Structure 1
């Protein structure tokens, strides 16, 4: 008997060691810059690209969600799903989680967002005797608890990028006076998604399938399209509604009447509900004269500068509970590339927001002035998903067969995928061109084909001369006519270098 007990104990210890070792290996590989593995749902056989607009619209009491068609070829090639949420004033997007990592961009508005990680402490607490300590009906809560406690809540606003790991429960509340508009890219090809290649939203409240709208005679609802050619859709719902009431009652130590309310079966409000009065939550306020996120951003930049960019993380500097999930990329002073006549680029990757190394995504914000050009380039290690936030621009994309797979205008609210290694050039319209590009790599790399630091400029003159059958003078003009990098001024070439240089 003793020998059997020892063997069982040894087996359990071995499993624990294997689990810990696997987690250490995972953290180590990501801290060394290795991209999370991506699987492919299908080959990228793209002969023609088109601008994309939402194909489904799901309305709720206090907002609407618009979904792009997952079966669209270019989205399947990129391995992503795209959703746009429009939340009205005092609208609450109900708690939910997704089967794959998400990267959100706040197009307009402001509000609160909460993200829940299992095992992390409830670090936000209301003071004793505050209004937060009262129940909905004015009495004290069961067990004489007089404080509200919950995990961290962050304020969000226009220009914020928000990272969400797979399976992390989150909610959103519109605190502002205007609509809160958020565009979300879900990385279905990420290894964290071990279900099928479909976008799935698991709600913890409400009755989301009630949020529907008739479009063209068909009912639109939450849920992935059924595979196999069927036009029917599975609907997303409140996961508690599938459990037995008695089991819920025992699990929460509540009566069956309250357990029934968890299921929200008679709720007709949909997935975005209106909050009466104002949502009362525990959240820190900024002091007078303090700009949101400024001190935090400066501290992190100084800290990372002191460590050195090449220093490897040891996995202990930031735990998942304290890791930042948000960074604003709309501020001009944060631009990584700036041309006074052309515009600016701001890049967010795993160096500036470490959580991105865990979800394998990054983003770039572009603000182009009238008629400015983004130099021809290609993405070396990722796909790009462009969403236009303001203005319009002309885009040309060329594949490996030298076919122009896209040549057209991209306007506000539209979407376009730029496949990996396809060459692309952009030119802003008369009203300028602003967009955010979501990229399927936490450290996306772009190779420019024109201007400073470009491929052509980096080639020896003799290679350019023989490759294009041009004279030395023409080779130098190809290499040196543009002194600008990435964002090119409109109209004329920048300062040229004469032969005497």
Structure 2
């Protein structure tokens, strides 16, 4: 009996030791992924061509993306192009870099509040004055206009589509938070298409172009290359019965013969029900003014969520220095849906040679994408080592991990960027300027910490009178003092 008890005790001890070791490994994995000795400016490493546009992918296996648990891509949709309906396993933020369009987000269980009537006219570029919809009347969930500078928030698993109704290319960059608690699959962005045959166009062009694929690159970086739509996996007879349609229509649902890819041309102008854009903008402004950017829990239900907000509007800027630039933050206080997504965004603009004061982000990773000009960034890790010191050009990306210190300086032509952050209320601590860590310390602490005289410590604390955005003249004066 004693030997059995001893054996059981030994087994339990071994099991608990293995379990503790496994848990320790699991806890250490994310931290080890952020032990980065070097960060690089990144550009798209792959692209999938479709009939009416192209999607460009950044390599999800890059260490900085793995550290932050994020992925990034860019859609380029031609005029008249429709990005087919799909949903993703992780929440996403999309920024409309260029162009305009229309997007729909299908919220489960919500009513179809947009419906046609005998008097209802449909929007479309070729619509004639007084033209009425003939035949069956349509009914669908709300659609929203997209404009340059809009940030669109899409919860995980929510189906959505985009249509370019403008006359120029629509460019949308998309940020995925794959480590978000809403994603219970794995740390890869997976897109589930509801229509078409996303792999069709790339298969057709395989003989013309071989995708660039580096050694060790995962298949997950090419999520559309071997993808069909979700109806393709169902039995045709089941689909015909479920939708109460004939077999031919059910086969079209599966899209096996569709060679257009994931962005398709709309043969005629897309006929949808939507309010005029000017009226929608007025309603948005009035609603924002009444709510003051805050929600008390009654203004928005799941079916009436505001899912887009323009971050380019100068009047919404949080920090402005006429000599240096401006910063606009979009967090859950201004844009309540971000509380659900646990994400936020920052739009920054620096005049030529102006500086954003050195800082660190307390509670979020930070992905920076340059939209205009050039932006030099320096990033420093916890060991005081420089892990990035380079100039970001237009269209390039870099990740600033949580708590890593960074400083930004615009190039000769100035710079604009969009940042995506993995917290709905990302908090920034500045290292220099009027509101900063050093300014908040007692003079004697500064003097002893940096081996300065009390007089020099006071100069260090109070010489910089600007706060977050530092004008070029201030930078020049500080360089002159340093060289002297």
Separation in 2 of the partners of 1:330 and 1:160?
A: 7
- 8 Å CA contact 2:36, 2:64 repeated in 1: yes
Q: 2:329 aligns with which of 343, 347, 352?
A: 347
Separation in 2 of the partners of 1:363 and 1:321?
A: 23
Measured after TM superposition, the shift of residue 231 of structure 1 is 9.8
What secondary structure is seen at the aligned counterpart in 1 of 2:438? helix
Could you tell me which residue of structure 1 aligns to residue 19 of structure 2?
none
Q: 1:402 aligns with which of 384, 387, 401?
A: 384
Measured after TM superposition, the shift of residue 453 of structure 1 is 0.9
Separation in 1 of the partners of 2:248 and 2:169?
A: 36
Q: 1:67 aligns with which of 57, 61, 85?
A: 57
Deviations along 1:351-373, one digit per CA (max 9) or x if unpaired, are 00000000110000001110000
Measured after TM superposition, the shift of residue 451 of structure 1 is 0.5
Gapped runs of 5+ residues in structure 2?
Answer: 1-28, 124-133, 479-484
Separation in 2 of the partners of 1:401 and 1:42?
A: 15
Deviations along 1:47-96, one digit per CA (max 9) or x if unpaired, are 00000011110000000000111111000111011010000000000000
What secondary structure is seen at the aligned counterpart in 1 of 2:300? coil
Taking a change above 3 Å as real, the CA distance of residues 494 and 107 of structure 1, as seen in their structure-2 partners, is same
Taking a change above 3 Å as real, the CA distance of residues 216 and 125 of structure 1, as seen in their structure-2 partners, is closer
Could you tell me which residue of structure 1 aligns to residue 288 of structure 2?
300
- 8 Å CA contact 1:377, 1:424 repeated in 2: yes
Separation in 2 of the partners of 1:248 and 1:493?
A: 66
Equivalences for residues 36-55 of structure 1 within 5 A: 40=30, 43-55=33-45
Separation in 2 of the partners of 1:295 and 1:476?
A: 51
Measured after TM superposition, the shift of residue 296 of structure 1 is 2.2
Separation in 2 of the partners of 1:348 and 1:258?
A: 44
What secondary structure is seen at the aligned counterpart in 1 of 2:288? helix
Q: What count of residue pairs does the alignment treat as equivalent?
A: 435
Equivalences for residues 256-405 of structure 1 within 5 A: 256-287=247-278, 293-304=281-292, 313=296, 315-405=297-387
Equivalences for residues 479-494 of structure 1 within 5 A: 479-492=461-474
- 8 Å CA contact 2:354, 2:475 repeated in 1: no
TM-score normalised by L of structure 1:
0.82
Separation in 2 of the partners of 1:146 and 1:188?
A: 41
- 8 Å CA contact 2:355, 2:475 repeated in 1: no
Could you tell me which residue of structure 1 aligns to residue 131 of structure 2?
none
What secondary structure is seen at the aligned counterpart in 2 of 1:195? coil
Gapped runs of 5+ residues in structure 1?
Answer: 1-38, 134-143, 497-501
Taking a change above 3 Å as real, the CA distance of residues 177 and 42 of structure 1, as seen in their structure-2 partners, is farther
What secondary structure is seen at the aligned counterpart in 2 of 1:183? strand
Measured after TM superposition, the shift of residue 410 of structure 1 is 0.3
What secondary structure is seen at the aligned counterpart in 2 of 1:54? coil
TM-score normalised by L of structure 2:
0.85
What secondary structure is seen at the aligned counterpart in 1 of 2:144? strand
Separation in 1 of the partners of 2:171 and 2:380?
A: 32
Separation in 1 of the partners of 2:71 and 2:458?
A: 44
Separation in 2 of the partners of 1:493 and 1:86?
A: 38
Equivalences for residues 223-234 of structure 1 within 5 A: 225-226=218-219
Could you tell me which residue of structure 2 aligns to residue 99 of structure 1?
89
